[in-house]
Chain A
Amino acid sequence: MQDDWSLLGPLQWIRYVNKRVTVTAGKDEERRGWLLTVDPVSASLVLVDFREDGGTSVHVVMGHAVEEVQVLEEADEEMAERLRTSFLPSSSCSLDPEELRRRRGGVRSWLQKNRVPVEEEGDELKVAEVLTIRAPYGPEDCCSSNQIILDRIQRLIQNLIQTDP
């Protein structure tokens, strides 16, 4: 079906997402499941299989071993949603606006106390234009492409949580 799976590129891989596929890999391995994603670095496929007993098994097939990928069927909306949420962090934001405002203020003044330049932008906090902290303002809610800044701010917020839970 395709010459070389690992050379297809993101735009081709994404067309297989949310489809049920059979992957042939290595000499005689065959795996079936719903394709959750393809790692764009290693071309590895993540296949999810919802078992009848309610459990979920995940198969990851390494990109270098892939021989063939065959599409069996497309996901309906329900299945696509199930796939989309299968690995999302479980703690979604369920705090009331007042509590969020209190937390935002707490994190903001803690960062200022540590001489970190921080600004409020809507319900987000921005640090030196390179890092964003979203609600509920925990260490896992920091977002930045700069690893060093990200690490420092996450540690600072961690310290805040430890001293004042």
Chain B
Amino acid sequence: MATPVSVLRLPKGPDPNSRGFDPRSPRFIALCRTSICTSAASEADPEQLQREQHARSVLRESFLRCLLSMTDKKVQFHMHEKVKVAATFGASDIDVLNFQVSNLHTPIGVQKEALIRCQDVISFTFDA
């Protein structure tokens, strides 16, 4: 006799023209406040805004270059409760919410492909 199983509802998926989840979905509100707002001082002063945006772009560019150089490298992830896992890094989404990795070595076995939720990660290490 089959027992009925409750339906698990997934959050509304990305809309085809955009780059992420529905901005009104609970998942989005909880996890994806994508852009960090400009500071109050910068909003009032255009020169300050210019400086802030310049700093932002310099920082972001070298972060993206770092992510690029990490592709296909062995990465050690340090997660909460002292969990350590190793995997081959693939990619990150633009908001740095998920990492795509291959050959994730977990305590119960190797997962061929996986997404790691960044909220669960404290830090990660690789050899450049």
CB-CB nearest 5 A-B residue pairs = A42-B96, A10-B55, A26-B122, A37-B62, A39-B63
Per the 8 Å Cβ criterion, residues 32-91 of B in contact with A are 34-36, 38-39, 51-53, 55-56, 58-60, 62-63, 65-66, 68-70, 78, 80
- Mask for B11-45, Cβ within 8 A of A = 1, else 0? 00000000000000000000000111011000000
- Taking A14-B59, A36-B66 as given, write out 8 further A-B residue pairs in contact, using a Cβ cutoff of 8 Å, ordered by the A residue number: A9-B36, A29-B78, A40-B59, A41-B34, A46-B66, A56-B127, A65-B121, A89-B65
Minimum CB distance partner of B19 in chain A = A147
Interface residue A22 (Cβ < 8 Å from any Cβ of B)? no
Interface residue A1 (Cβ < 8 Å from any Cβ of B)? no
Minimum CB distance partner of A61 in chain B = B123
Interface residue B125 (Cβ < 8 Å from any Cβ of A)? yes
The residues of A that contact B68 with a CB separation of less than 8 Å are: 87
CB distance from A79 to the nearest CB of B (A): 15
The residues of A that contact B123 with a CB separation of less than 8 Å are: 25-26, 29, 31, 59-62, 65
- Is B122 a contact partner of A9 (Cβ separation < 8 A)? no
B side interface size, CB within 8 A: 35
Task: Tell me the bound Cα distance from A77 to B105 in angstroms.
Answer: 40
- Is B122 a contact partner of A87 (Cβ separation < 8 A)? no
Within the complex, which residue of A29, A38, A42, A58 is in contact with B118, where a contact is CB–CB below 8 Å? A42
Interface residue B7 (Cβ < 8 Å from any Cβ of A)? no
CB distance from A40 to the nearest CB of B (A): 4
Most buried by A among B55, B60, B95: B55
- Contacts A9-B36, A11-B55 given: A41-B96 contact, CB under 8 Å? yes
Interface residue A13 (Cβ < 8 Å from any Cβ of B)? yes
- Is A58 a contact partner of B126 (Cβ separation < 8 A)? yes
CB distance from B75 to the nearest CB of A (A): 9
A side interface size, CB within 8 A: 36
Most buried by B among A43, A44, A55, A87: A87
Interface residue A64 (Cβ < 8 Å from any Cβ of B)? yes
A and B contact pairs by CB, cutoff 8 A, 30 listed: A11-B55, A26-B80, A29-B122, A29-B123, A36-B66, A37-B58, A39-B59, A39-B60, A40-B55, A40-B59, A41-B35, A41-B60, A42-B118, A43-B36, A46-B66, A55-B128, A56-B128, A57-B126, A57-B127, A58-B70, A58-B125, A60-B66, A60-B124, A61-B123, A62-B118, A62-B121, A64-B118, A65-B121, A87-B66, A87-B68
Interface residue A159 (Cβ < 8 Å from any Cβ of B)? no
